[in-house]
């Protein structure tokens, strides 16, 4: 029954993913005509690579709470769960990751802790990369907008283990979970943040490959900062599936100094289309990884749920 519900949720998410593509195809196809196939292919490749790097960021945290799955197994869990973001609300990927991680012997509370922490890492690094990218790309902006550095430092402080533990505990209270969240050490957080930062830099390349043809003269720094900022806005607007609408509006605003609203909107539309295509490719890869493992995922005894009071392994 649980397996049927899990794959039923996946089917709904895939249907919404398809709807996201079909509903905007006319606008996307018009925007694609302004781009070369080389830019489109390179940008799509960057999206796919970034998705894999994001999976490694998630795995770095999950190893600290007991997930001993191999890289291919972790990729399968992460790639399948990513389609959950097309269901309205930002929590679905977290819940999907927790359920899939249970296949590898990780208890639901520990899996939810890991997924929440990985999500916080992504949000924090998006905020830091977005703030610094936009600030440093505008000459003379530092003198006026110095406070952005303070905001970036405050965001980075969320990854200090004692502070992060309070954030996770608050998330558990909001979701009405009574279990004690697992503790995640500094080494795992540092590794996850490093992978996540690399992901945003790669996604910056994805945006720049498109932007340089739509708005010649725009550089990599502003593309990276604007994209990370726009993603963060889209994530925070939880009522929109995958941040539809909010991300586009934020990207138009952030690229105002280097691109017209029409150019920025074209970038937003094509970028969302390519990232959706990358999610579809990732979904296919996740299914293929599972199909190559006869009998499906098997719990690893070494990854059995640990005593909540025990020190988690570091990764």
Residue partners of 132: CB distance under 8 A and separation at least 6: 148, 149, 152, 225
Cα–Cα nearest to 28, from 266, 231, 276, 281: 266
Residue 17, pLDDT score: 55
pTM for this one?
0.78
Q: What is the rounded (10 degree) CA torsion for 32, 37, 39, 40?
A: 60
User: Using one digit for the tens of pLDDT, what is the confidence trace for 137-169?
Assistant: 877 666 666 667 787 888 888 888 888 888 888
Residue partners of 41: CB distance under 8 A and separation at least 6: none
User: Using one digit for the tens of pLDDT, what is the confidence trace for 206-232?
Assistant: 999 999 998 888 889 999 999 998 888
User: Using one digit for the tens of pLDDT, what is the confidence trace for 170-179?
Assistant: 877 776 776 6
Q: Cα separation of 96 and 81, whole Å?
A: 5
Cβ(105)–Cβ(74) below 8 Å: no
Cβ burial, residue 150 (10 Å; 0-12/13-18/19+): exposed
Sort residue 140 into left (φ over 0), alpha (ψ -120 to 50) or beta: left
Cβ burial, residue 253 (10 Å; 0-12/13-18/19+): middle
Tell me the pLDDT of the chain averaged across its residues.
Answer: 77
Write out 120-142 in H/E/C secondary structure.
HHHHHHHHHHHHHHHHHHCCCHH
Cβ(130)–Cβ(225) below 8 Å: yes
pLDDT band at 303 (very low <50, low <70, confident <90, very high): very low
pLDDT band at 272 (very low <50, low <70, confident <90, very high): confident
Residue 300, pLDDT score: 40
Q: Cα separation of 207 and 134, whole Å?
A: 14
Residue 89, pLDDT score: 55
Lowest mean pLDDT among 181-185, 230-234, 253-257, 285-289: 181-185
What phi and psi, each to the nearest 5 degrees, are found at residue 92?
A: -65, -40
């Amino acid at each position: 029954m649980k397996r049927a519900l899990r794959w039923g949720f996946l089917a709904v998410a895939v249907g919404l993913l398809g709807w996201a593509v079909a509903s905007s195809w006319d606008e996307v196809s018009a925007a694609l005509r302004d781009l070369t196939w080389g830019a489109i292919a390179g940008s799509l490749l960057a999206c796919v690579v970034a998705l894999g790097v994001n999976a490694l960021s998630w795995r770095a945290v999950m190893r600290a709470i007991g997930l001993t799955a191999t890289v291919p197994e972790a990729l399968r869990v992460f790639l399948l769960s990513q389609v959950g973001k097309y269901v309205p609300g930002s929590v679905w990927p977290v819940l999907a990751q927790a359920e899939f991680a249970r296949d590898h012997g990780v208890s639901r509370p520990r899996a939810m802790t890991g997924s929440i922490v990985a999500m916080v890492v992504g949000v924090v690094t998006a905020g830091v990369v977005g703030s610094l990218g936009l600030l440093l790309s505008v000459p003379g902006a530092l003198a006026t907008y110095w406070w952005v550095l303070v905001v970036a430092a405050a965001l980075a402080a969320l990854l200090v283990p004692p502070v992060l533990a309070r954030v996770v505990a608050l998330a558990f209270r909001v979701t009405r979970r009574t279990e004690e969240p697992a503790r995640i050490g500094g080494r795992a957080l540092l590794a996850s943040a490093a992978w996540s930062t690399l992901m945003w830099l790669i996604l910056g390349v994805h945006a720049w490959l498109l932007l340089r043809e739509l708005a010649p003269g725009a550089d990599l720094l502003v593309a990276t900062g604007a994209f990370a900022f726009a993603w963060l806005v889209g994530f925070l607007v939880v009522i929109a599936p995958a941040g539809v609408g909010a991300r586009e509006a934020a990207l138009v605003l952030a690229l105002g100094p280097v691109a017209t609203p029409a150019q920025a909107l074209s970038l937003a539309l094509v970028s969302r289309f390519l990232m959706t295509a990358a999610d579809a490719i990732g979904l296919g890869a996740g299914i293929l990884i599972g199909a190559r493992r006869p009998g499906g995922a098997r719990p690893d005894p070494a990854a059995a749920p640990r005593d909540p009071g025990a020190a988690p392994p570091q990764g």
